[in-house]
A and B are shown apart, each in its own frame.
Chain A
């Protein structure tokens, strides 16, 4: 406790406080810009931290992490373009609510849930770092494979359309992640002689193209839609306490899920928000309302993705294993300053662990104040004429795709996936499973191959262990259950249509 309090006092010194506030603000801004993620911002700032003390460096980077994850909800809600991949699920209900004329309310729910989820996971970070990291490190490759499989089935079941189309979309995402260098042997595969994809497709180019560029094309087609006008009278972001009451259980459940997913190495905020959203949808009495702009969806997604921040820091601090992509940069920052994350960190440099705890805690409050105070300016994004906004978004997309590897080829890839994403969405293939499949593809392959190596090529080994066995059986059950539910829904709709016709 004394260590944490002294870290809080250090955080209140002018320079460290400046880095905390600046990092949070920069994270929010970068998170809110499509194609420029908080992780990219952290990567860009990493060289600057060479010249800082380790405490200031970690304060800056952890604050950016918190700000970036939350900042992603702004464009997810206002433009249906997730500023961060973790905000994809927020678009499902956030954007429809904004389109109904309540962008402020949608943002209010998102910010409040982010704050709650972040602080919930912070409690877990402080309390469970030692014991839970020991459990997480014991997960076998097949366990991770089972979790990924379940995530894919869940995201496919999430869409309002066919689960078959959702699964096709998810497997296409995995397929797109495969060309390039074989992660096990180092040999080239599926490049068709194109050397620019020797290292695979750029993650940012594919994600920005399929999700952001395709959406701009969509909105360009619908540019004459009158519903674009936002009723500014309803733009207050204030959500009454009585409106939060029905969300309490949703908040706790989503934060719990997000925290747990964050603890699992390699599975980050996107899966956290996805699982939290699915849990909220499946346990709801009105699941059909999900995707139409209800608060439950926004709350689940944002509490879920922000809760992964604290969760993902647990394996990083306790074992030196990054819980997400962003944690990789934090790991690098620690190593640059001559520190080795792991159990020894608590023994040798406890102040470093405590400054991470403290900056994670305080930056959530800073994020809340900044997002709340800046809300009126953020909402004005909706009133900016789209003919000014879309070209600027496209330039950001080009910069984001180019900046990943400094190659024009990645911009062409982005353009191609813009067209593919547009065609898919136009014909009812949801893009959520595609981008999630793309992000989880490498983990899927690594887990399967490592698992089979350990089991001497036996797939049955999946069922001999509880985590992998349960997740695989649960995935199969979810798939069959979703198919049957859809079949029943179609029958009911057909019956309803016949009655109306009569």
Chain B
């Protein structure tokens, strides 16, 4: 997907979200004690976002439509991009959150998350497995101890 269409897509998403919030804010009653009520400012903000998003779409599309030359391609970096790693990291983060939700002990889930995400980012280099395992165990235990015993944060 081209850069232009990505930008247009994001703007359309903003318009859709703003329209939904605008619609929901219409249900709010007018204010009793102040002239605005709870819904007026959200409507103002949503309206502004919609107008600005349309302007942003025009700003992106008009030069491309008026120009006869093909749109310039996105500049490519001098290295390989790894969106797959970011996706895997996101999935691991979701699983980590899910494990917390399912009341898996914080220390255990943290050690596992640290080890797996380290291996993902290190692109599964076999020689890094012992190091990653040691750092994950130390990191998980140290964080759980620091936050519960020292800082007294109520961890899951």
Binding site for B on A (CB under 8 A): 41, 44, 162, 164-165, 167-168, 171-172, 174-175, 178, 182, 184-185, 187, 189-190, 192, 213, 216-218, 220-226, 385-388, 390-392, 394-396, 398-399, 402-403, 406, 408, 411-412, 415, 418-419, 422-424, 426-429, 444-445, 448-450, 452-453, 456-457
CB distance from B38 to the nearest CB of A (A): 4
Which residues of chain B come closer than 8 Å to A218, judged between CB atoms?
A: 86
B28 A175 Cβ-Cβ under 8 A: no
B residues 1-38 touching A (CB-CB < 8 Å)? 3, 6-7, 9-11, 14, 18, 21, 24-25, 28-29, 31-38
Sampled A-B contacts (18; CB under 8 Å):
A41-B151, A184-B38, A190-B21, A220-B85, A223-B82, A224-B80, A387-B119, A391-B114, A391-B117, A392-B139, A394-B93, A394-B96, A395-B113, A398-B100, A403-B155, A415-B90, A415-B97, A452-B34
In the complex, the 9 A-B pairs of residues with the closest C-beta atoms, listed nearest first: A387-B121, A457-B35, A182-B38, A391-B117, A387-B122, A220-B86, A217-B86, A453-B34, A427-B10
Partner of B152, one of A44, A226, A450: A44
Given contact pairs A44-B151, A168-B11, A392-B114, enumerate 19 new A-B contacts (beta carbons under 8 Å). A174-B45, A184-B33, A185-B32, A189-B42, A216-B89, A217-B89, A218-B86, A220-B86, A220-B89, A222-B81, A223-B85, A224-B79, A386-B121, A388-B118, A402-B155, A402-B156, A445-B41, A449-B36, A457-B35
B82 A456 Cβ-Cβ under 8 A: no
Which residues of chain A come closer than 8 Å to B80, judged between CB atoms?
A: 224
- Known contacts A172-B14, A423-B10, A226 near B82 by CB under 8 Å: no
Which residues of chain A come closer than 8 Å to B101, judged between CB atoms?
A: 408
Chain B, residue nearest A422 (CB): B86
Please measure, in the bound complex, the distance between the C-alpha atom of A388 and the C-alpha atom of B113, giving whole angstroms.
12
Chain B, residue nearest A424 (CB): B10
Binary interface profile of B, 67-98, with partner A (CB < 8 Å = 1, else 0)? 00000000001111111011001100110110
Which residues of chain B come closer than 8 Å to A422, judged between CB atoms?
A: 86
- Known contacts A178-B42, A217-B90, A220-B121, A165 near B56 by CB under 8 Å: yes
Main secondary structure of the interface of B (DSSP, over half): helix
Chain A, residue nearest B88 (CB): A220
Partner of B100, one of A172, A189, A216, A411: A411
B153 A403 Cβ-Cβ under 8 A: yes
Main secondary structure of the interface of A (DSSP, over half): helix
Please measure, in the bound complex, the distance between the C-alpha atom of A444 and the C-alpha atom of B44, giving whole angstroms.
12
The winner among A178, A226, A422, A426 for most chain B CB atoms within 10 A is: A178
B121 A223 Cβ-Cβ under 8 A: yes
B97 A411 Cβ-Cβ under 8 A: yes
Which residues of chain A come closer than 8 Å to B49, judged between CB atoms?
A: 168, 171-172, 175
- Known contacts A168-B49, A175-B49, A221 near B100 by CB under 8 Å: no
Which residues of chain A come closer than 8 Å to B9, judged between CB atoms?
A: 427
Please measure, in the bound complex, the distance between the C-alpha atom of A428 and the C-alpha atom of B128, giving whole angstroms.
36
Which residues of chain A come closer than 8 Å to B132, judged between CB atoms?
A: 387-388
The winner among A216, A388, A394 for most chain B CB atoms within 10 A is: A388
A164 B42 Cβ-Cβ under 8 A: no
Please measure, in the bound complex, the distance between the C-alpha atom of A213 and the C-alpha atom of B32, giving whole angstroms.
41
B residues 39-74 touching A (CB-CB < 8 Å)? 39, 41-42, 45-46, 48-49, 52-53, 55-56, 59
A221 B35 Cβ-Cβ under 8 A: no
Which residues of chain B come closer than 8 Å to A448, judged between CB atoms?
A: 36, 41
CB distance from B9 to the nearest CB of A (A): 8
- Known contacts A167-B52, A168-B53, A390 near B121 by CB under 8 Å: yes
- Known contacts A216-B89, A225-B79, A387-B122, A402 near B100 by CB under 8 Å: yes
Please measure, in the bound complex, the distance between the C-alpha atom of A396 and the C-alpha atom of B139, giving whole angstroms.
11
A408 B156 Cβ-Cβ under 8 A: yes
Chain A, residue nearest B89 (CB): A220
Please measure, in the bound complex, the distance between the C-alpha atom of A450 and the C-alpha atom of B34, giving whole angstroms.
7
- Known contacts A164-B55, A171-B49, A185-B38, A391 near B118 by CB under 8 Å: yes
Chain B, residue nearest A192 (CB): B24
Partner of B41, one of A178, A217, A424: A178
CB distance from A427 to the nearest CB of B (A): 5
Which residues of chain B come closer than 8 Å to A190, judged between CB atoms?
A: 21, 24-25, 42
Which residues of chain B come closer than 8 Å to A386, judged between CB atoms?
A: 121
Which residues of chain A come closer than 8 Å to B48, judged between CB atoms?
A: 167, 171
